[in-house]
Amino acid sequence: MTTIKNKEQLISNGETRSDRKARALALESLEVALKAADPIQIIKSKLSLKNSTLRVNSYSFNLVKFKNIYVVGGGKATGAMAYALEQVVGKRITKGLVNVPHGTKSKTATIELHEASHPVPDESGVEGTRRMLEIAEQAEKDDLVICLISGGGSSLMPLPRNGISINDKKEITNALLKCGATINEFNTVRKHTSDFKGGWLAKKAYPATILNLILSDVVGDPVDSIASGPTVPDSTTFGDAVKVLEKYKLWDKTPASIQKVLCDGEKGLIPETPKAGDEAFKKVYNVIVGNNRLASLASCKHGKVKGLNTLLLTATLEGEARHVGTVLATIAREIVTSGNPVRKPACIVAGGEMTVTVTGKGKGGRNQEMALAAAMKIGGTDGVVIASLSTDGVDGPTDAAGAVMDGKTLAKASQLRLAPQRFLADNDSYNFFSKLGDLVLTGPTGTNVNDVSVIIVL
């Protein structure tokens, strides 16, 4: 289980007993969030097998009725998910293959862990995905296909359509990444240039039953977005995909093989992605087993157990990190001043995915920048802490997961002759917190449900 490696150090950095207590509570809350986002923990706690009945959320499957159980999937956490699934379903699994990033350490018995490249797809990814499709096509009416999906699934499960090469796919991927297209626009193109995404996996596995277990890394858990929805009806068309490329003036630069597929699609020469109402989706169960909300709620619950008045502010937080920091700081100040939105001792949790618009040359991440901006608005208070981390353990291009600040951070920075506004202007939050010894360090966690921020006011 991932822990905050320098937790004791971070706690002892608190100047007063109250600051240390608030730091301890904030960091413990974040550790609880990490635990709730742990793939093994999630699969083991969400899935249960009793008397041959597999239960997950409100669904139950009588495994006796299934002849074979196949496992497919892909994502950064699917190695661990596959390991845990074997712990639950055990020997009932007939056969399985999931694509995992190079260097995945999980050990499995039946399910093959096929290593592939992330975030830029490779031939090995294509090979693994092709074999998954073979497994899906092999599945019959009385078989169950369990699909494991987590963040990174889109890159780890590439299967370019009709003669598109992996290099062409890489080219358009890079162009779309740079042009400022939204994730939905990106996925519209992805789905129409893939034999796996946009519902095709479900179509190919039909008439088998599909149980899709999703560890969501997309704010709001849109199932058609996560890994580009291989088991979810697609609401977009070939025409939409062409429009996206035209909108960003990419059509002329689009590889000919991709232009051909999209034009053939528009002309009806090749089939559209499966749509809502397609009988292929009648026996598909898409289940979110882990997401930011579950992690954030676990943080809240820990606060409550510790006797704090808790609130989950949001689990779909978005916004520029520094302004989110300002807003969270004003909420912390309000608790101090007026006992709103909750009375002290308080614990407020906000989860989601912040953004940073980089204009400086410094080093930092979303969570560190949020904490820096918050620190600039909370000076001189006692027992007020804001701590924030990226649940994958890697906040921006740094070796820190996030940072922690309290009401003394400004004064300490001043003693060290550090000007917070300069670090913020240069997007240099890492070096600011590094000098204060207030970076939160976890190492890569093997999961991702985005960011969790905790406010503690004692």
- Mask: binding to a second copy, 348-377, rule CB under 8 A, as x and -? ----x------------------------x
Interaction between residue 456 and a second copy (CB under 8 A): no
Residues 405 and 383: their CA atoms lie apart, in Å, by: 11
Among 338, 359, 397, 417, contact with a second copy (rule: CB under 8 A): 338
- Tell me whether residue 193 or residue 299 sits nearer to a second copy (CB atom): 299
Distance CA 214, CA 217 (A): 9
Q: What is the DSSP letter of 299?
A: H
Over the window 201 to 230, marking each residue x when it contacts a second copy by CB under 8 A and - when it does not, the resulting string is -------------------x----------
> Which window, 46-54, 68-76, 259-267, 331-339, contacts a second copy (CB under 8 A)?
331-339
Binding-site member from 63, 120, 175, 327 for a second copy (CB under 8 A): 327
Q: Which stretch binds a second copy (CB under 8 A): 117-125, 157-165, 169-177, 334-342?
A: 334-342
Helix (H) or strand (E) segment spanning residue 398: none
Q: Which residue in the block uniquely carries the two structure tokens 């001792």?
A: 345
Q: Quick check: 72 and 132 in contact, CB under 8 A? A: yes
The neighbouring-strand residues paired with 320 are 355
How many Å apart are CA 150 and CA 227, to the nearest integer? 7
Angstrom CA distances, 50 to 62, 148, 353, stand at 10, 21, 37
User: DSSP letter string over 238-286?
Assistant: HHHHHHHHHHTT-GGGS-HHHHHHHHHHHHTSSPPPP-TT-GGGTTEEE
The residue (of 176 and 294) whose beta carbon lies closer to a second copy is 294
Return phi, psi of residue 198, to 5°. Answer: 60, 35
* Closer residue to a second copy in complex, CB, 100/317: 317
> What minimum distance in Å lies between the beta carbon of 377 and a second copy?
7
Residues 319, 360, 362, 379: which binds a second copy (CB under 8 A)?
319
In single-letter form, the type of residue at position 337 comes to T
Neighbouring C-beta atoms of residue 167, cutoff 10 Å: 11
Nearer to a second copy, 166 or 321 (CB): 321
384 in contact with a second copy (CB under 8 A): no
**Minimum CB distance to a second copy smaller for 138 or for 326:** 326
Determine contact, residues 404/355, Cβ cutoff 8 Å: no
Q: What is the DSSP string of 67-80?
A: S-EEEEEESTTHHH
Q: Shortest distance, CB of residue 229 to a second copy, whole angstroms?
A: 19
Stretch that binds a second copy, among 35-43, 202-210, 240-248, 330-338 (CB under 8 A): 330-338
* b/e 271-307 (16+ beta carbons within 10 angstroms → b): ebbbeeebebbebbbbebbbbbbbbbbbbbbbbeebe
Stretch that binds a second copy, among 12-20, 247-255, 270-278, 338-346 (CB under 8 A): 338-346
| Residue 320 near residue 354, CB atoms below 8 Å | yes
> In the window 299-318, what residues touch a second copy (CB under 8 A)?
311-318
Q: Per rule CB under 8 A, is residue 48 in the interface with a second copy?
A: no
Cα(296)–Cα(130) distance, integer angstroms: 36
Is 240 a binder of a second copy (CB under 8 A)? no
Residues 405-434 that bind a second copy (CB under 8 A): none
What's CA 219's distance to the chain center, in Å?
A: 8
Cβ 350 to a second copy shortest distance, Å: 8
Q: Output 234 or 451, the one with its CB closest to a second copy.
A: 451
Q: Kindly state the smallest distance separating residue 355's Cβ from a second copy, in Å.
A: 9
Nearer to a second copy, 204 or 322 (CB): 322
Angle, helix 183-192 to helix 166-179, in steps of 10 degrees: 160
* Minimum CB–partner distance for residue 240 and a second copy (Å): 15
Give the nearest distance from C-beta 451 to a second copy in angstroms: 12
| Residue ranges in 282-301 that form contacts with a second copy under rule CB under 8 A | 293, 297
- 85 lines the binding site for a second copy (CB under 8 A): no
Sheet containing 53-56: order of strands: 47-50, 53-56, 59-62
Name which of 47, 38, 379, 24 is nearest 215 in CA terms: 38
Q: Is 134 in the site for a second copy (CB under 8 A)?
A: no
Q: Which residues bind a second copy (CB under 8 A)?
A: 220, 293, 297, 311-320, 323-324, 326-327, 329-331, 333-334, 337-338, 340-341, 352, 377
